[in-house]
Structure 1
Amino acid sequence: MLFKKILLATDFSQCAEQLWNCAGELRELGAKELVAVHVAPLTGGRLSDHAKEKLDQHLAELKDLGFEVRSLVRTGPAAQEIRDVAEEEDVDLVLLGAKGENRIREFFLGSTARDLIRICDKPVLVEKFKMLEDEQECAAVCTRKFRRVLLPLDFSEDSLRIYELVRDKLAPWVDEAVLAHIVDQGSSKKVVEKMKNEAQDRLAALRLNLADAGVETEIRIRTGIPSKYLAQIAEEDAVTLVMMPTRGAGNVTELLLGSTAENVARHSSRPVMLFPVKK
């Protein structure tokens, strides 16, 4: 499995407690080692001791699943500390949660997840949660994360690298894939149609390659702001995971609003796995 060593970051919030179940799912996919980290607001003392006790309680359960486990409590700016631990431990994936739905059914990314996406050089899986009807409990939006994946493709090297990862490494765990391309709405109608036709041809070729790997694939092409339509496609197609790079080929409108990846992670109701761009 590609993600053998996982870093799970938790703030012990109600929804973050569900992350342990997600870690168990990754174990079924071949993950072997898990490091759990909590970033405490104060240095040392009873608060840090209590945090480590809580981490170790959860890790005992994961150890029973076959994980090699270790817990860490750090202090400082949360995103920076999580990034530093990810580098020090040389993990393959960072797992953390976005806040769940509130009363007006809006998803919140949270400052820690947002900042981590911007600075982390490791893949980051942002789990999404929904509040149950009584708003007293959280539940993960999706299980079997790789069952139906959305692959946004702008045909940049980094987006194609993720496509190849699914085709060559993850295909045994992927039942279905949705290949999506968003055409810039700033071009003339004639140019837009030409770009859509070209994208259709390229995506059709990629679909055939995935079919050879045993993955059923559908194609979605839209015109407009990438993050808006990617989040919409993720919902309409009921995907279990969005996999995309932190930066793509670029879109003028999107640049004014922030990166496509960050906006998708913020607005999508589905879990999002973000990969750092190749340097």
Structure 2
Amino acid sequence: MAKVLEHILLPLDLSEVSKPLAISVAELASRHKSRVTLLHVIEEAMVIHVAAGYDVSSLIRSIEKNAREKLDKIKKLMMEKGANVVVYEDIPVGNPGTVISEVAEEVGATEIVMGSKGLGIFRILPLGSTVRETVKISRKPVIRLKTYKENGHVKVAYSPMLFRKILVGADRNTSKSMIDYAVNAASTDDGKVILAHIIEPPLEEPSYEVKNVFKYGEKAGEERGVEVEIVVARGRPDKMLTAIASQMDASSVLVGRTVERRLSELILGSTLDRLMTLCELPLIVYPL
């Protein structure tokens, strides 16, 4: 297994969110001795919706030039914070979520770090939609950092000790590799893992598969010298995980992402989608 945060892909839309997000990632990268690759994607929709007769090639060249200048400034800023940073060689045009996922594979990123909000095309399409799209298709863990405004300034809700206390949403789909990831991550911050399973009615107790997840988690923690605590609660998973994270002073929340879509999820929106909105902590989405 690759080292946690060995190589971070940081996609930036170059809006007002980008600088504070980059500074936060620089602090994280410096702490974990990570490599960082900066990426900017020109949204395909921006090019498609250009008025007829406009020189599209000229527009793309102009956007590329502006993007490279901004990325170079952000790279310099991050390097001043002690981060090892490179800018991806191209400024690709395409669907951001797809391009981000493809570039992550190409450069060998171990994680993708993204802010919860950004500019989007013409200030209409929020970056949050790009985060969701990336989460759904990426084969790399995606770390979503919540961004917000305070007194007119963009802030990032996170601590450099991202893995001090990781709350893991455990269910029957939770893989051994996801547990290993959580335990390895916690070990880098001398941290702790909380395996939380939320029982939804009409079930009365954790299933056989979930109990096996607990057993594996305890064994993995023991082998690596990481404390693993088991928590079982009842209710709606997104609300309960958010509440438990707050009550137990978690530093981040780790959940798995599967391709399975139940009818209730199609109607109400998946637990993951709701967590993306509710969770104020860094949310790590692990592909299963």
Q: Give the conservation status (yes or no) of the 8 Å contact 1:176–1:217.
A: yes
Secondary structure of 1:130's partner?
A: strand
- TM (norm. structure 2) is 0.77
What is the distance in 2 between the residues matched to 1:9 and 1:248? 24
The alignment status of 1:153 with 2:170, answered yes or no, reads yes
The alignment status of 1:77 with 2:81, answered yes or no, reads no
Number of equivalenced pairs: 261
The alignment status of 1:47 with 2:50, answered yes or no, reads no
Q: Could you list the per-position Cα deviations for residues 125-181 of structure 1 after superposition, in whole angstroms to 9, with x for gaps in the alignment?
A: 11112321x2x11222121211121111114342x4222223346413242332210
- TM (norm. structure 1) is 0.80
Who is 2:271 aligned against? Answer: 260
Q: Unaligned stretches of 5+ in structure 2?
A: 48-58, 119-125
Q: Could you list the per-position Cα deviations for residues 179-228 of structure 1 after superposition, in whole angstroms to 9, with x for gaps in the alignment?
A: 2101121x1xxx51x43899689748844753664434443322222222
Secondary structure of 2:171's partner?
A: coil
Q: Give the conservation status (yes or no) of the 8 Å contact 1:196–1:221.
A: no
The alignment status of 1:30 with 2:33, answered yes or no, reads yes
* CA deviation after TM superposition for structure 1 residue 112, in Å: 0.7
Who is 1:93 aligned against? Answer: 111
Secondary structure of 1:219's partner?
A: strand
Q: Give the conservation status (yes or no) of the 8 Å contact 1:117–1:262.
A: no
Secondary structure of 1:73's partner?
A: coil
Q: Give the conservation status (yes or no) of the 8 Å contact 1:226–1:254.
A: no
What is the distance in 1 between the residues matched to 2:278 and 2:96? 22
Who is 2:197 aligned against? Answer: 181
Q: Could you list the per-position Cα deviations for residues 52-85 of structure 1 after superposition, in whole angstroms to 9, with x for gaps in the alignment?
A: 1111111123345251412342222221221222
Which of the residues 234, 239, 256 maps onto 1:245? 256
Distance 1:162 1:205, change over 3 A: closer
Distance 1:198 1:56, change over 3 A: closer
What is the distance in 2 between the residues matched to 1:205 and 1:121? 23
Q: Could you list the per-position Cα deviations for residues 80-121 of structure 1 after superposition, in whole angstroms to 9, with x for gaps in the alignment?
A: 221222222232111110029xxxxxxx87111111111112
* CA deviation after TM superposition for structure 1 residue 15, in Å: 2.6
Who is 2:140 aligned against? Answer: 122
Identity value in percent: 24
What is the distance in 2 between the residues matched to 1:210 and 1:79? 34
Which of the residues 213, 236, 252 maps onto 2:247? 236
Alignment root-mean-square deviation, CA: 3.0
Distance 1:268 1:77, change over 3 A: same
